[in-house]
Chains A and B, each alone.
Chain A
Amino acid sequence: MSDYEPLKFYVPEPTGRPGDEPDFTKLIIPDAGSARKPAIDCRPQEIKDLATTIIRVMNRDGEAVGPWAEGIDDDVLLDGLKAMIRTRAFDERMMTLQRQGKTSFYMKCTGEEAIAIAHKLAQTKGDMNFPTYRQQGLLLATDYPMEDMINQILSNEKDPLKGRQLPILYSARSHDYFTVSGNLGTQFIHAVGWAMASAIKGDTKIASAWIGDGSTAENDFHSALVNASVYKPPVVFNIVNNQWAISSFRGIAGGDEATFAERAHGYDIPSLRVDGNDFLAVYAVSRWAIERARRGFGPVLIEWVTYRVAPHSTSDDPSKYRPKEESTAWPLGDPILRLKNHLIARGLWSEERHAQAESEYDEEVRVATKEAESHGVMGAGSSPKDMFEAVFEELPPHLREQRQKMGV
């Protein structure tokens, strides 16, 4: 007789499902300012502790404290706050366009605005982003025309991508924003390849790779890390851990007990875990990682701890798979509110200016939407001819024949 029990496998479960009380007791939040700031050329094994803490700058009173708080320009904070308000206004309007049937699909980044925007403001022109679908802030923090984003969302006659690509999967090489892939994770290894090319060319540009917690399960994530570990190209890996991949909580991606940041250790890549709702922390750590990569010290991985307040997309309903109050109970708060409070406390901002900025950006989005809608909604305006254009200098005979058959 064997004294072994029959084996069992384990399926991780989140701390709450619909009807349960939100429970974030597992998330240990250290005091703001408690995490050290290492030297730019530190060795990965010297900062292993930074992969299990949460680097935070703003304390509960809105003060910026600790070594990561130093040397951040006021203008960066004001620009960042405005870009976050603008992004949120944009998301709200686009979501309603979908509900009105003017576009088929949308994805908001509510609650995660600080990550893309602060990171973007820490970059230099020419640093290339390989984003996922939830980094619209990378574009909305720049002068990329908002109307072009809406034209693509509406897939109208002014759609810069000619009706070929999904709404929100933007492509803006001019603004250092690589064509977003609909297939999860592929951009992560592309960023490593791009960074390799930058090094091969003797350039000083770095690449920023983006991925969600769920997609770290994809091969591309692991291949990106092993290749970056071997060749040490100038790439910053950003894992946006927003806790949920549609209905799968981070544990289904193996992120329940170990942190996502810790994965870098086996690859000898330095990694840091950061409060993604703390604009100052995001900016400071991004700046450190980008500088390190640009100085030739190789890749850095950052886990941004945040919460996906919005549904995954317009096609799902979070109240079916997580406690309804979970987003309001999220202990790291709202990134806009936190930066706003910080700036008000320092006398750089006020309730009045905030309300004014909100209405200004609402108006900007409203006007841009109206203008874009005048060029058609939901595909109206694209011509079947567009299918055959912008790929070949001269159309091959078989495509010419197909085009003629279609009478366009």
Chain B
Amino acid sequence: MAIEITMPALSPTMEKGTLAKWLVKEGDTIESGDVIAEIETDKATMEVEAVDEGTVAKIYIEEGAEDVAVGTLIAMLAEEDEDVASVAAGGAAALAPTVTATVPAQEEVFVAPAGPVAVAVAEDPEIPEGTAMINQTVRESLRDAMAEEMRKDPDVFVMGEEVAEYQGAYKVTQGLLDEFGPDRVIDTPITEHGFAGLGAGAAFAGLKPVIEFMTFNFAMQAIDHIINSAAKTRYMSGGVVECPIVFRGPNGAASRVGAQHSQNYAAWYANVPGLKVIAPYDARDNKALLKAAIQDPNPVVFLENELMYGETFDVPDLPDYTAPIGKARIFTEGTDVTIVSYSITVGEAIKAAEMLAEEGISAEVIDLRTIRPLDLDTLIESVKKTNRCVVAEEGWPQCSVASDVSAQLMEQAFDYLDAPVTRVNSVDVPLPYANNLEKAAVVSAEDIVKAAKAVCYTD
């Protein structure tokens, strides 16, 4: 039987890639293990090895093709006893059902639910009218934020595992070593506790370190320095010693990295006086708030999200664009229910708002952006208008950010509420590895819609 060769996934988060080069041509005989092609992703270039042996009957995707989705048929292989010509001729037709079957599955992932209703995107007073926009990924926006601050201020430097030579495990520090050199972009030994403490020490000496954790899951080792050293020294030194440091890296569930690598630490750090905690959603806020964090004279925990790194958004083309720490952003305006969220779940909240709009429910989506200090005023103003609130957060429910928002609204906006503030959180179990279980455990737009309809009493 003919063997199909499909676009391989080189990492769990890879969705598409560039077929950079074919190293075989039609008619070539290949052995299992032969390198047949080179594929580029935003993370790396990799060689694709043949799994089976046979003769290359047909190449469907030419070299140089960009954005080839994982699973796309790229070539057909005829086995030893097969006629190459008939495989080449019949292969694609025979496989047509498989190919078409993969398309809807992908639409399900990337395209908004059927018939989305446009929701009003709030005007942004922070951006002057007529500002040009650059379309870029969250990854690029973070890199630009660091590069701009490093150009401006020689005291800023970046340190962490794989940040220099390898350009970051998730390529967030791409190009920084070339521009700023090994004195300011520094690879560290694998000791989070070590380089977090070292960063705190350098900050006490007046520098402004940006400490990258490969993920915040690894920062659990370093939490003593984040909380007991960085957050408390200004207080303990009677205001004499400051610690201008940023701890940044991906936080929350990624894609199939298991229970120990899929945790949201927002609530942990937000519990600590002396820390500022930022967890933005789109590229614009990631850039603006990372710059603000680096400029801030205090320790900031900056929580990114791996699944958002490759997403693109408009970012204002302004020379020194920052956003205020501690200020929430009204993402879409609405009148019936307030949906509060932060980080990746804002995307689910926006989808939920679109789904609710179809049913005639007008939702106001608020992105907290900063978890500590919490912008309660913006939330109260919204609840005064909608009288209902759902808080959506990818993370466990108990003692969560959602719990705190809920409690504070109950204390300070009780008279405006027509329904209990409702939390939408992940399932209360360590996150499973298996794809389907992982999806079932985290917060989806559907979960938010359900909660929003419940507080509107429309169920």
A9 touching B189 by the CB < 8 A rule?
no
Contacts of B217 in A (CB 8 A): 183
Q: How far is the CB of A115 from chain B (nearest CB, A)?
A: 20
A380 touching B436 by the CB < 8 A rule?
yes
- Once bound together, how far apart are the Cα atoms of A384 and B438, in whole Å? 9
For B416-436 the 0/1 string (1 means CB < 8 A from A) is 000000000001111011111
Contacts of A399 in B (CB 8 A): 428-429
A101-B70, A105-B256, A214-B190 are contacts. A387–B182 as well, Cβ < 8 Å? no
A384 touching B260 by the CB < 8 A rule?
no
Residue B22 interfacial (CB < 8 Å): no
Q: Which of B71, B188, B260, B432 has most chain A Cβ within 10 Å?
A: B432
Contacts of A182 in B (CB 8 A): 257-258, 260-261
B162 touching A247 by the CB < 8 A rule?
yes
Closest A-chain residue to B429, C-beta based? A387
Q: How far is the CB of A400 from chain B (nearest CB, A)?
A: 11
* Interface set, chain B 6-33, CB cutoff 8 A to A: 6, 8-12, 32-33
- Once bound together, how far apart are the Cα atoms of A246 and B187, in whole Å? 12
B11 touching A99 by the CB < 8 A rule?
no
- Once bound together, how far apart are the Cα atoms of A182 and B433, in whole Å? 12
Pick out which of these stretches binds chain A: B38-46, B115-123, B269-277, B339-347.
B38-46
Q: Which secondary structure characterizes the binding site on chain A?
A: loop
Residue A252 interfacial (CB < 8 Å): yes
A245 touching B432 by the CB < 8 A rule?
no
Q: How far is the CB of B209 from chain A (nearest CB, A)?
A: 14
Closest A-chain residue to B12, C-beta based? A104
Residue B166 interfacial (CB < 8 Å): yes
A382 touching B432 by the CB < 8 A rule?
yes
Residue A166 interfacial (CB < 8 Å): yes
Closest A-chain residue to B191, C-beta based? A217
* Interface set, chain B 395-453, CB cutoff 8 A to A: 427-430, 432-438, 440-441
Pick the residue among B10, B434, B438, B440 that contacts A314 (CB under 8 A): B10
A315 touching B165 by the CB < 8 A rule?
no
B48 touching A11 by the CB < 8 A rule?
no
* Interface set, chain A 353-408, CB cutoff 8 A to B: 378-380, 382, 384, 386-388, 398-399, 402, 406
Residue B259 interfacial (CB < 8 Å): yes
Residue A327 interfacial (CB < 8 Å): no
Q: How far is the CB of A361 from chain B (nearest CB, A)?
A: 14
B434 touching A379 by the CB < 8 A rule?
yes
Q: How far is the CB of B16 from chain A (nearest CB, A)?
A: 13
Closest A-chain residue to B181, C-beta based? A11
A100 touching B8 by the CB < 8 A rule?
yes
B428 touching A320 by the CB < 8 A rule?
no
- Once bound together, how far apart are the Cα atoms of A379 and B441, in whole Å? 14
- Once bound together, how far apart are the Cα atoms of A349 and B157, in whole Å? 58
Contacts of A321 in B (CB 8 A): 165-166
Q: How far is the CB of A153 from chain B (nearest CB, A)?
A: 11
A155-B434, A315-B10 are contacts. A218–B191 as well, Cβ < 8 Å? yes
Residue pairs across A and B with CB atoms within 8 Å: the count is 159
Q: Which of B9, B49, B193, B433 has most chain A Cβ within 10 Å?
A: B433
Pick the residue among A181, A214, A317 that contacts B189 (CB under 8 A): A214
Closest A-chain residue to B447, C-beta based? A405
Residue A332 interfacial (CB < 8 Å): no
Contacts of B220 in A (CB 8 A): 183
For A283-320 the 0/1 string (1 means CB < 8 A from B) is 00000000000000000000000000000001111001
- Once bound together, how far apart are the Cα atoms of A155 and B166, in whole Å? 30
Residue B186 interfacial (CB < 8 Å): yes
Closest B-chain residue to A163, C-beta based? B434
Residue B183 interfacial (CB < 8 Å): yes
Residue A62 interfacial (CB < 8 Å): no
**Size range of the interface on A?**
35 or more
B258 touching A164 by the CB < 8 A rule?
yes
A163-B432, A384-B437 are contacts. A104–B256 as well, Cβ < 8 Å? yes
A166 touching B190 by the CB < 8 A rule?
no
- Once bound together, how far apart are the Cα atoms of A245 and B187, in whole Å? 12
Contacts of B437 in A (CB 8 A): 163-164, 379, 382, 384, 386-387
A101 touching B71 by the CB < 8 A rule?
yes
A99-B49, A182-B258, A387-B440 are contacts. A164–B433 as well, Cβ < 8 Å? yes
Residue B194 interfacial (CB < 8 Å): yes
Residue A253 interfacial (CB < 8 Å): yes
Contacts of B44 in A (CB 8 A): 315-317, 320
Pick the residue among A11, A317, A402 that contacts B427 (CB under 8 A): A402
- Once bound together, how far apart are the Cα atoms of A9 and B159, in whole Å? 14
Closest B-chain residue to A9, C-beta based? B183
Q: How far is the CB of A322 from chain B (nearest CB, A)?
A: 10
- Once bound together, how far apart are the Cα atoms of A215 and B214, in whole Å? 14
Q: How far is the CB of A268 from chain B (nearest CB, A)?
A: 23
Residue B51 interfacial (CB < 8 Å): yes
A218 touching B221 by the CB < 8 A rule?
yes
Closest B-chain residue to A185, C-beta based? B190
Q: How far is the CB of A254 from chain B (nearest CB, A)?
A: 6
For A259-281 the 0/1 string (1 means CB < 8 A from B) is 00000000000000000000000
For A216-257 the 0/1 string (1 means CB < 8 A from B) is 011100000000000000000000000001111000111000
Residue B285 interfacial (CB < 8 Å): no
Q: How far is the CB of B132 from chain A (nearest CB, A)?
A: 34
For B49-74 the 0/1 string (1 means CB < 8 A from A) is 10100000000000000000011000
- Once bound together, how far apart are the Cα atoms of A245 and B183, in whole Å? 21
Q: How far is the CB of A244 from chain B (nearest CB, A)?
A: 11
B428 touching A402 by the CB < 8 A rule?
yes
Q: How far is the CB of A67 from chain B (nearest CB, A)?
A: 36
Residue A34 interfacial (CB < 8 Å): no
A101-B8, A215-B190, A387-B441 are contacts. A166–B257 as well, Cβ < 8 Å? yes
Q: How far is the CB of B172 from chain A (nearest CB, A)?
A: 15
Residue B161 interfacial (CB < 8 Å): yes
Contacts of A315 in B (CB 8 A): 10-11, 43-44
- Once bound together, how far apart are the Cα atoms of A252 and B188, in whole Å? 7
Contacts of B71 in A (CB 8 A): 101
Residue A169 interfacial (CB < 8 Å): yes
> Which 6 pairs show the lowest CB-CB distances between chains A and B?
A163-B434, A217-B189, A379-B435, A379-B434, A247-B166, A104-B12
- 8 additional A-B pairs beyond A163-B434, A253-B190, beta carbons within 8 Å, are A99-B10, A104-B435, A217-B189, A246-B169, A321-B166, A382-B434, A387-B427, A387-B437
A-B contact pairs, 19 of them (CB 8 A): A9-B183, A99-B48, A100-B6, A100-B8, A155-B434, A162-B432, A169-B258, A184-B190, A185-B190, A218-B193, A254-B189, A314-B11, A316-B44, A379-B433, A379-B438, A380-B436, A382-B432, A384-B440, A387-B429
